[in-house]
A and B are shown apart, each in its own frame.
Chain A
């Protein structure tokens, strides 16, 4: 039931964001409801983390960081997908609105990716005794972060806004193309895995699974709301720029 709810959230969020991006000024109102819903979910999630999820035997209370680390995964990848998707749509149609979506996906995605890289070590130090390990998952997140950052630098340094949009769209596609190979390469290059084995496969106690699930759904909607607000910002900035150019 939990995985189904998560999948449903992802699909619904994607659909909503694509619909929203198609006409931000007219449809941004819907973001209010998403924002309120996410806000409402946060205390529910925190209560579950504090009182419902049991304390794990081996790691103790440290393990509860799990419930804020795992939910950041989907938004991290979701942002990337949105960015690449927005890029493709932009290249095909040359409509600025899709580039706005791409930029929003990249920016919010990098926020969540950064979160993963900050929270991961906070968990790793007490749990494994070291801040970092070059295992598959952590390294993958780090490489993803670098791709995001490269994308954002490109956007900011490109000569001219048309170039910025086109080039970042291409880079986003190249990035998506590279990611599966990065995964294989890291798998090939790595030695022992330090990362906790995926608990879902091992069979999590239901309370833990549900708490993680609620966390994931909460984060997906926070992510979606942030992307929507970032799209709004992009649209406003484009309008301000247009009026600045038009006035002269």
Chain B
């Protein structure tokens, strides 16, 4: 049972982690652009 939870948890963590990374990078790109214009 803990294995099952681990599998789904890992999946959730990886996907959410990637989404957060995209968010952060997007914020940085937007700020970068605003600074220049």
Do A and B interact directly, with beta carbons closer than 8 Å?
Answer: yes
Give min CB distance, B9 to chain A, whole Å. 10
Bound complex: CA A232 to CA B18 (Å):
14
User: Are A122 and B33 also in contact (CB < 8 A) when A68-B11, A111-B18 are?
Assistant: no
Bound complex: CA A111 to CA B13 (Å):
11
Bound complex: CA A243 to CA B33 (Å):
7
Bound complex: CA A237 to CA B27 (Å):
10
Flag the segment in A59-67, A143-151, A152-160, A187-195 that touches B: A59-67
Give min CB distance, A145 to chain B, whole Å. 14
Bound complex: CA A236 to CA B29 (Å):
6
Bound complex: CA A244 to CA B32 (Å):
8
Interface SS of chain A: helix
Tell me the nearest residue of chain B to A225, going by C-beta: B19
Q: Is the CB of A244 within 8 A of B3?
A: no
Q: Is the CB of B26 within 8 A of A232?
A: yes
Which of chain B's residues have a CB closer than 8 A to the CB of A65?
A: 3-4, 7-8
Partner of A118, one of B3, B14, B26: B14
Size category, B interface: 20 to 34
User: Are A68 and B7 also in contact (CB < 8 A) when A236-B33, A240-B36 are?
Assistant: yes
Interface SS of chain B: helix
Which of chain A's residues have a CB closer than 8 A to the CB of B14?
A: 111, 114-115, 118
Total contacts A-B at CB 8 Å: 70
Kindly state whether residue A230 has any CB partner on chain B within 8 Å: yes
Partner of B22, one of A72, A115, A226: A226
Give min CB distance, A90 to chain B, whole Å. 21
Sample (30) of A-B pairs whose CB atoms are under 8 Å apart: A62-B3, A64-B4, A65-B3, A65-B4, A65-B7, A72-B11, A111-B14, A111-B15, A114-B14, A115-B11, A115-B14, A115-B15, A119-B7, A119-B10, A122-B3, A122-B7, A123-B7, A125-B3, A222-B15, A226-B18, A226-B22, A229-B19, A233-B25, A233-B26, A236-B29, A236-B30, A236-B33, A239-B33, A244-B36, A246-B36
Give me 17 other A-B pairs in contact (C-beta within 8 A), A64-B4, A226-B15 excluded: A65-B4, A65-B7, A69-B7, A72-B11, A111-B18, A115-B15, A119-B11, A122-B3, A122-B7, A126-B3, A226-B18, A226-B22, A236-B29, A239-B29, A240-B36, A243-B33, A244-B32
Tell me the B residues contacting A by CB distance below 8 Å. Answer: 1, 3-4, 6-8, 10-11, 14-15, 18-19, 22, 25-26, 29-30, 32-33, 36-37
Tell me the A residues contacting B by CB distance below 8 Å. Answer: 61-62, 64-65, 68-69, 72, 108, 111, 114-115, 118-119, 122-123, 125-126, 222, 226, 229-230, 232-233, 236-237, 239-240, 243-244, 246-247
